Amino acid sequence: MYAKGIATSDGQPINIFATLAHHPKVLKRFTTYAGFFLNKGLLPAREREIVILRVGWNCRSVYEFGQHTLIGRRVGLTDAEIASLTRDPSAHPWSVRDMDLIAMCDELCEDDCVGETTWGRLADTWNTAELIELLLVAGTYRLVSGFLNTVGVELDRGTPGWPD
């Protein structure tokens, strides 16, 4: 009935989708839009998840962070990397490319704009289409985090919360 990743092991929709189902037209369009980034986007999955997890942390959305902890693990992020996304990034041996993604998320969440220095470094690594997608992923999951926090969507059974 529900695709893998949007349903629990017993076939029930995960809580975000059960909540969005109160507005079926939004649910349909949201799953198409957000699902594009997760299934058909240009970004490598590992880097996409770094962005989503850091935005989830910056927005203090435990639901978003928990769901994407599971996805992040599936795409190769270690538990140490995931945990470090809740801390000062300089305390972890991130690559320059990863640090640029983290800086982008921090700047976007701080004042809705990526600074010139960070943008320039990103533009040296990512093509124009990928840059657009990076911003849309970060912005989309910022919006989702605000939605989840505001309506109080609870963690699904078996979904981790914040790392220790």
Which pLDDT value is given to residue 16? 96
Which domains are seen in the chain, by residue range? 15-151 (1.20.1290.10)
Percent of the chain having pLDDT more than 90? 91
pTM of the model: 0.94
In the chain, where does DSSP find H-type helix? 15-20, 24-39, 45-58, 62-74, 79-84, 96-111, 116-125, 128-151
